[in-house]
Amino acid sequence: MPEAKNKAVKQDFEPDILVFCCNWCSYAGADLAGVSRFQYPPNMRIVRVMCSGRVDPSFVLKALKEGADGVLITGCHIGDCHYISGNEYAKERFEKLHRIIIKQLGINEKRVRLEWVSASEGRRFADLITEFTNEIRGLGPLKFY
Amino acid sequence: MEGSVLVIGAGIAGIQTSLDLTELGFKVYLVERTPSIGGRMAQLDKTFPTNDCSLCILAPKMVEVFRNPNIELMTYHEVKKISGEVGNFAVTVLKKPRYLDETKCKGCGDCATKCPKIEVPNVFDMSLGKRKSIYIPFPQAVPPVYLIDPEICLKLTKGVCGVCEKVCTVEAIDFEQKPQDIEINVGAIVVATGFDMPAEQLSSRWGYRYQNVVSALEYERILCASGPFEGHVLRPSDQKEPQKIAFIQCAGSRDLHENVPYCSSVCCMYTAKEAIITKEHSDNSDCYVFRHDIRAYGKNFYEFTQRAQDEYGVKYFQSKISSIEEDKDNNDLLIHYEDLKTGKFSDFKANLVVLATPLVPTKGTEEMAGILDVELDKYNFYKERSYFNKSLSSKEGIFLCGFCQGPMDIPETVTDASGVASQVAMILNSVKFNEIREKEGIEPEREIKITDEPRIGVLICHCGINIGKYVDVSSAVEYVKTLPYVVHVEDNMYSCSSDSQIRIKELIKEHNLNRLIVASCTPRTHESLFQETCVEVGLNKYLFEMVNIRDQCSWVHMNEYEFATDKAKDLIRMAVAKARLLKPLTEALLDITPNALIIGGGISGLTAALNLASQGFQVYIVEKENKLGGNLNDLNILYPIHEDSSKFLNEIKNKVEKSKNIQVFLSSKFKEIKGYIGNYNVSIIDSKENTQDVKVGTIIVATGALELKPEGLFQYNEKNKNVITQLELEKKLKSDDKSWLDGIDRITVILCVNARQKKGITYCSNVCCGVSLKNISIIKELKPELEIVVLYRDFQMAKKEFEEYYRDRRKESMFLRYDLDGQPEIVKINEKPEKYQVSVFETNLQDQLQFETDLVVLSTPMVPPENLQELAKMLKVPLDKNRFFLEAHVKLRPLDFATEGIFLCGCAQWPKNIQDSISQANGAAGRASRFLSAKTIKTSGLIAEVSQERCIGCGKCESVCPYNAIELIDSLLDFEEVSLNVSKSFINSALCKGCGTCAATCQNGAISVKHYDFDQIYAMIESYLLE
């Protein structure tokens, strides 16, 4: 049995986190975390898309509106994209999303993050989820004023 | 004649050959002596020069092999006997006992968890890690099936234990299994047995016996995230992070004393890669490379070794190692070496030493060659029938692929693989598709209308205890029953087992389901299995949805039963929300015109044409010059076997002329190329402006390369007749008039002219060293008393043939080494006869030398022809930064473009010699003939679609599409009396890959991506958060 390193203890506030994974790299990285039995907090739910380039800003905004406390978009490292350049457009769009929308809405920009995880980075995936979950926990529930 | 092929060895060579062979219409028996396919590539951490994760790019191919109905995967089998001849070989294969029934084993690993802790070194981890007696070689092994090591199993050795049998819920364990002989008949055989890296056979001076001296393959495992140290750079003795890591090149290769006279070809590159990855992993580690020559044999490889130095601070020493010793107190290593730049002997202290040990033919090669009755060469690699076609063994019908024929890297291996497949197709052309099996028993597809009320069935898997122990499956079942549109839910032990497939079919019929959800493991490995099951019972495969509650739930929340159960319920609910909105999708069938266009009539284009023509396809060759042959027309004698170039070319030209299937267009170019895979309309225009239109299904680009003219360098100009390029020397040597040699007593050859620089041309052209050495030997034959001086930087003589060739030439001339900081200088000192003075700083001697010479020969790199941009635009394919064509993936798809249906080979891709050009041409022909053989191509249903009403024709989608699948098309829009010309975006379903980047880019929401559409993803988000 793997060490219960990241064992969750019921806290006052448990965030809801949505994670977008691309089919080829980060989803595979998440699978590898599983195969390797790397434990991480159970707060997040993954939505699989074919490419991080598919993640429309409206998905993120919708999730925040419906009550997600944090959204994580993940994809292949730059240069590794299965679709050659989809992740570069994801990055471009994400920066715009951050710059314009998140700030205008007064949402802490730490709540929406873009990260690259390769298919071999199971450890990194688990660590990333742990770290992101803890960060969102620290920020508390997302409230619109 | 048999329509099946035996492939021996299931590394990347065997895998790629098998996949290509089945597409060309042959059944494959893939025999692998270890328990998993994947070979050496599966052990690598990353691959140069892109530093792609090796397993990530290999694993999809492994799964493809596993699922292919026309590949009979025979892992843990060995070939014992072969008789017969081409077309009809009888083969005996030994099936070794795994001591479990592989049709029952689900790969859950419960057995290994309970197996007593008697451990042996894990061979896959190069013995750095441990495994138990029941084991799987590595987590991603294919087939994903365990086996028992009879040497240490307590039950098999002592008759006690047997705990695995007790815990295995599917009763797969079978201690009674015995070896078994299997007889098969095949039409051809492909040998792809790969290499070994036996560091223990090196002489003691390399210090391999010390704990902290590891071979490069061991170091790959150390670097690998799934390796014994989880990707932390640690040294074996104390598992501490080493600060100084020394990489020793040529640790045994190119060394007569070690019995490895040849260059292993790939070490310079993987060393640079390992050093770069080390620097990326750990800030505290410094990397030092003790090098001999830098032999970066491949596209943009030399620049990669430079990046290691310039960007990552890896330090390179040009050196010779005398010995490596251990400091007993701290297990550090002391390297005694000679610095070849200063001539000084020094000592270097390192915490870890990585040896680039020789790569040799795999163990058992001699026995296998005996069984096959084929010849080996003097290094024990399989001997090729002719230097110019390294895929053919000494025996008809037996082919060679990959490292078993000689040192090569992965791109060259997969090139070989595709080439071998196409050459098998040439000899077994008449029995293509004879043994190919289509899936049987498929019911016609049931029509599901959008207006039909969804009837969703959900299957929740226990996966033995893998899910069931950490998630409350029965409470999930009860919960899912309450969800809207769900008409049936049940749980089972293994959803993937064959009896479950029967159950799924029953359920779909019994409950008239029009959507199916399986909540189990990952869709990456199992989605297509369930989709196939749905299709068999007439349910469109896109009405299936999979939920990952194992890899991404039970396995990562093993101590949180409640949370994991909640998460599983949420994930299934989200899938139900999406499934409601799933639509049946169609996969369009496109017809393929069985003709090919080949652009360029050099050796590559001609070879590809002959290959395709003999497979029965119509081929059009378009050549811009007025004759076929390209660069071969100017060459004299071909190295390293000294064959007459004209004779060689004439033989090929004769074959082309005789072929009924080849039509040649000389002095021609293109007016227009339009269309997509399977259906290109090509308009060819000749010098007299006559046009002719042809229809083709596929295109091969073989536009070649030219020798760079070094205008203004080293006195090269119009006036100086005795400063010439290597190609100009070839022409002189080719002409019958040899009077130009009169009065010439000394020739100076300068290598790397205008190549491998910091600015300008940065690459190594790979072929110039070989060409120069060949010309030296020819001149020496013509005029033995002549003196030849060669000024070189590194000798690019990778490959098994070349080291010895180089060694022989060293006896014939004087070799002086210079480096980039001290370029030679040429001064003209006499007009008639021309005489030049050469000054150069010789780095080995550390001395400035000056001498006179009568003739200067400059070796310049090959460059792409001018105006390729125009052609590239017409074909919608990219060029790289050096203006060569850019392939789809430098490692695993070197002959494909990202645009399907177009391929490349020869110097259009990168400068290469004739052997490599021919190998690539056969490979490209193989890649192309996969489509041509198929007659039709099925497109994926997962594609994007434009709503014409919403599209405003802004063109953003067109600019982001990586596959050129989107085009703006003008159309007339009528408004009562006025007609407006408007642009609308149009997506070609044959080219779209469904990534969805266009949909997220479109600001009007005009593009939907089937199966991942806006409403479907919105529904998942809402369903997650609204509960």
Residue-level pLDDT at B282: 83
Exposure string over A18-34, b if 16+ CB within 10 A, otherwise e: bbbbbbbbbbbbbbbbb
What is the mean pLDDT of the segment spanning B623-628?
A: 97
d(CA B779, CA B748): 12
pLDDT of residue A6 exceeding 60? no
Answer yes or no: are the C-beta atoms of A62 and B1021 closer than 8 Å.
yes
**Chain A residues with CB-CB distance to B544 below 8 A:** none
**Chain B residues with CB-CB distance to A54 below 8 A:** 995-997, 999-1000, 1009, 1012
Question: Helix B603-614 to helix B645-658 angle, to the nearest 10 degrees?
Answer: 40
Picking from B551, B559, B1018, the nearest residue to A35 by CB comes out as: B551
DSSP, residue by residue, B519-531: EES-HHHHHHHHH
**Chain A residues with CB-CB distance to B997 below 8 A:** 51, 53-54, 83, 85-86, 89-90
What is the mean pLDDT of the segment spanning B593-600?
A: 97
User: Which residue of B1017, B1022, B1023 is the best one to mutate when testing the A interface, meaning the one whose CB has the most A CBs within 10 A?
Assistant: B1017
d(CA B878, CA B888): 9
Cβ count near B973 (within 10 Å)? 11
Residue-level pLDDT at B356: 97
Picking from B140, B524, B1020, the nearest residue to A47 by CB comes out as: B1020
DSSP category for residue B22: H
| Residue-averaged pLDDT of chain A | 87
pLDDT of residue B53 exceeding 80? no
How does strand B698-701 pair with strand B595-599?
Answer: parallel
Residue-level pLDDT at A11: 62
Contact yes or no for B557 and A27 at CB 8 A: no
The domain made up of B1-95+180-197+360-440 has a fold known as: FAD/NAD(P)-binding domain (3.50.50)
Residue-level pLDDT at A2: 39
**Sequence-distant contacts of B775-778: CB under 8 A, at least 24 apart:** B775/B726, B775/B729, B775/B730, B775/B733, B775/B749, B775/B857, B776/B749, B776/B809, B776/B812, B776/B813, B777/B642, B777/B808, B777/B809, B777/B812, B778/B636, B778/B637, B778/B642, B778/B733
B16: Cβ contacts below 8 Å, ≥ 6 apart? B61, B413, B414, B417, B418, B892
| Structural element, H or E, at residue B903 | strand B902-904
Q: Which of B28-32, B47-51, B755-759 has the highest mean pLDDT?
A: B28-32
The domain made up of B707-861 has a fold known as: FAD/NAD(P)-binding domain (3.50.50)
Cβ count near B505 (within 10 Å)? 17
Tokens of B807: 């060694």
Q: What is the pLDDT of residues B366-397, one digit of tens each?
A: 999 999 999 999 999 999 999 999 999 999 99
| Structural element, H or E, at residue A31 | helix A26-35
**Token pair 């360029």 in the structure block, residue:** B600
Contact yes or no for A123 and B1024 at CB 8 A: no
Share of chain B above pLDDT 70, in %: 100
Contact yes or no for A63 and B1021 at CB 8 A: yes
**Chain A residues with CB-CB distance to B58 below 8 A:** none
Q: What is the pLDDT of residues B960-1017, one digit of tens each?
A: 998 889 999 998 888 788 888 889 999 988 889 899 999 999 999 999 999 999 999 9
Min Cα distance A46 → chain B (Å) is 8
Answer yes or no: are the C-beta atoms of B576 and B480 closer than 8 Å.
yes
Answer yes or no: are the C-beta atoms of B953 and B959 closer than 8 Å.
no
**Second CATH level (architecture) for the domain B456-579:** 3-Layer(aba) Sandwich (3.40)
Q: How far is CA B192 from the centre of its chain?
A: 14
Dihedral sign of CA atoms B381, B382, B383, B388 in order: negative
Closest Cα in chain A to B562: A42
Residue-level pLDDT at A143: 81
Side-chain-facing half-sphere of B246: CA atoms under 13 Å: 28
What is the mean pLDDT of the segment spanning B920-931?
A: 97
Tokens of A87: 């992740």
Q: Which of A13-22, B76-85, B165-174, B869-878 has the lowest mean pLDDT?
A: B869-878
A vs B, Cβ pairs < 8 A, gives 173
Q: Which amino acid is at B589?
A: L
pLDDT band (50, 70, 90) for residue A9:
low
Give the CATH number of domain B97-178.
3.30.70
- Phi-psi region for residue B87, left (φ > 0), alpha (ψ -120 to 50) or beta? left
Residue-level pLDDT at B154: 95
Contact yes or no for A46 and B548 at CB 8 A: yes
Q: Which amino acid is at B1025?
A: L
d(CA B614, CA B609): 9
CATH of B603-705+864-937, one of 3.40.630.30, 3.30.70.20, 3.50.50.60, 3.30.9.10: 3.50.50.60
Please report, for chain B, the start and end positions of each structural domain, with discontinuous segments joined by +: 1-95+180-197+360-440, 97-178, 198-358, 456-579, 603-705+864-937, 707-861, 944-1009
Contact yes or no for A31 and B551 at CB 8 A: yes
Give the CATH number of domain B944-1009.
3.30.70.3270
Contact yes or no for A53 and B996 at CB 8 A: yes
DSSP category for residue A5: T
What is the mean pLDDT of the segment spanning A118-127?
A: 88
Contact yes or no for B1012 and A126 at CB 8 A: no
d(CA B120, CA B97): 19
**Chain A residues with CB-CB distance to B230 below 8 A:** 123
How does strand B787-792 pair with strand B746-750?
Answer: parallel
d(CA B957, CA B1005): 11
Contact yes or no for B1024 and A16 at CB 8 A: yes
What is the mean pLDDT of the segment spanning B539-553?
A: 96
Contact yes or no for A8 and B563 at CB 8 A: yes
What is the mean pLDDT of the segment spanning A128-137?
A: 96
pLDDT band (50, 70, 90) for residue B341:
confident
Contact yes or no for A47 and B574 at CB 8 A: yes
Contact yes or no for A80 and B52 at CB 8 A: yes
| Residue-averaged pLDDT of chain B | 93
Q: What is the pLDDT of residues B650-685, one digit of tens each?
A: 999 999 999 999 999 999 999 999 888 899 999 999
DSSP, residue by residue, B333-357: EEEEEEETTT--EEEEEESEEEE-P
Contact yes or no for B1000 and A121 at CB 8 A: no
pLDDT of residue B937 exceeding 90? no
Picking from B558, B563, B960, the nearest residue to A2 by CB comes out as: B558
Q: What is the pLDDT of residues B7-26, one digit of tens each?
A: 999 999 999 999 999 999 99
Picking from A30, A54, A123, the nearest residue to B1000 by CB comes out as: A54
pTM across the whole model: 0.85
Residue-level pLDDT at B360: 97
d(CA B350, CA B923): 44
Q: Which of B137-141, B218-222, B735-739 has the lowest mean pLDDT?
A: B137-141
Closest Cα in chain A to B1023: A66
Of the candidates B732, B780, B719, B776, the one whose C-alpha atom is nearest the C-alpha of residue B750 is: B776
**Chain A residues with CB-CB distance to B1022 below 8 A:** 62, 66
The CATH class for the domain spanning B198-358 reads alpha beta
Contact yes or no for B555 and A49 at CB 8 A: no
**Chain A residues with CB-CB distance to B999 below 8 A:** 54, 56
> What is the distance in angstroms between the CA of the first residue and the CA of the last residue of chain A?
45
**Chain B residues with CB-CB distance to A62 below 8 A:** 1018, 1021-1022
Contact yes or no for B1025 and A30 at CB 8 A: no
Contact yes or no for A53 and B522 at CB 8 A: no
d(CA B694, CA B678): 13
Same fold: B1-95+180-197+360-440 with B707-861: yes
What is the mean pLDDT of the segment spanning A124-134?
A: 96
**Chain B residues with CB-CB distance to A68 below 8 A:** 1021, 1024-1025
The CATH class for the domain spanning A17-139 reads alpha beta
CA distances from B672 to B36, B874, B902 (A): 48, 7, 15
Of the candidates B360, B354, B356, the one whose C-alpha atom is nearest the C-alpha of residue B407 is: B360
Residue-level pLDDT at B109: 86
Contact yes or no for B1020 and A123 at CB 8 A: no
